[in-house]
């Protein structure tokens, strides 16, 4: 289902206008879930960290035992060419994707050499600076590498996230703050998470149960360059209950302030506003 107002699709060596069909009914990616994607953004005329998103697309493909068909630099150049079909002031969600068409001798594992590639460019506005999220606990947890491909941005991981979101929305919240298998906070159902207490910024330490995002790393670098103290550590629900501010980090919005976690409420505080300003200032200098 398309979420945006205008779409361009790259498939089989050509850019197409519209939401073009790219997968067949018997493709391995269709019936056994061998599909990966990444998400980047074009806004204000720039594509921040596009090279890193393309590199992660290839890393995700390898994690699902597929062989990428493009070098990351070539993928980024292709995407920039496709973005010329949009207005200079458009906001576009950039989604490169791989999937397998065939299985190997086991049928269950993908044939590494049957990898297909496509890009979906979808015009979706950037959320407003004060567009906030509300969080609640969820009974569903993030898996570990031994039982899921958590080292990839893989489509097969998202039904678990969907369960979290459906549960959260049934309780009147917009997102869920999820624990890892050990009972510590990992991330939300859709994004990495930060909390602020007494001016210090905290975020869950990467432990192999969630993707430590590209935008997350960019925020940490920006904050530290600005003189902020950022600590990656083990965090619990109780830590978030005593936070002064909470904000989310993800590709779609870059920074999303949180105004509630169950019964706790928060203002959109000065650190959250500063992190957003730092990101936009940094992005303005990118291509």
Residue 24: C-alpha distances to residues 29, 30, 100, 132, 148 (Å): 9, 7, 11, 38, 25
pLDDT tens per residue across span 232-270: 999 999 999 999 999 999 999 999 999 999 999 999 999
The predicted structure's pLDDT at residue 214: 98
Spatial distance between the Cα atoms of 87 and 266, rounded to a whole number of angstroms: 37
Spatial distance between the Cα atoms of 43 and 77, rounded to a whole number of angstroms: 17
To the nearest 10°, the Cα dihedral for 172, 175, 178, 184?
Answer: -90
pLDDT tens per residue across span 122-165: 999 999 999 999 999 999 999 999 999 999 999 999 999 999 99
DSSP letter for each residue of 53-77: HHHHHHHHHHHTT---SS-HHHHHH
161 with 123: CB under 8 angstroms? no
Q: What are the backbone dihedrals phi and psi of residue 263, each rounded to the nearest 5 degrees, phi first? A: -85, -5
**Nearest alpha-carbon partner for 90 in 127, 49, 44:** 44
Query: How many CB atoms sit inside 10 A of residue 172's CB?
Result: 9
The predicted structure's pLDDT at residue 249: 98
**Nearest alpha-carbon partner for 36 in 150, 163, 165:** 150
SS3 call for 238: helix
Residue 26: C-alpha distances to residues 33, 58, 193 (Å): 11, 23, 38
């Amino acid at each position: 289902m398309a979420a945006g107002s205008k779409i361009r699709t790259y498939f089989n060596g050509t850019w197409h206008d519209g939401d073009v069909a790219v997968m067949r009914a018997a493709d391995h990616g269709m019936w056994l879930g061998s599909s990966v994607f990444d998400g980047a953004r074009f806004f204000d005329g720039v594509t921040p960290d596009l090279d890193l998103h393309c590199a992660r697309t290839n890393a995700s493909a390898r994690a699902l035992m597929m062989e990428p068909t493009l070098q990351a630099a070539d993928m980024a150049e292709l995407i920039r060419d496709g973005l010329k079909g949009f207005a200079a002031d458009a906001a576009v969600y950039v989604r490169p994707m791989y999937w397998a068409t065939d299985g190997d001798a086991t049928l269950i594992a993908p044939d590494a050499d049957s990898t297909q590639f496509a890009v979906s460019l979808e015009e979706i506005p950037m959320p407003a600076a004060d567009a906030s999220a509300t969080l609640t606990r969820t009974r569903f947890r993030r898996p570990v590498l031994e039982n899921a491909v958590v080292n990839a941005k893989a489509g097969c991981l998202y039904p678990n996230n969907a369960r979290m979101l459906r549960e959260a929305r049934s309780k009147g919240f917009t997102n869920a703050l999820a624990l890892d298998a050990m009972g510590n906070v990992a991330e939300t159902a859709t994004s990495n998470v930060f909390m602020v207490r007494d001016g210090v910024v905290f975020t869950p330490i990467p432990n192999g149960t969630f993707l430590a995002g590209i935008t997350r790393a960019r925020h940490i670098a920006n904050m530290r360059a600005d003189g902020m103290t950022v600590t990656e550590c083990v965090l619990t629900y109780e830590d978030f209950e005593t936070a002064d501010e909470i904000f989310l980090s993800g590709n779609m919005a870059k920074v999303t302030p949180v105004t509630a976690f169950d019964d706790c409420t928060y203002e959109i505080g000065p650190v959250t506003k500063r992190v957003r300003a730092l990101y936009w200032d940094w992005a303005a200098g990118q291509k």
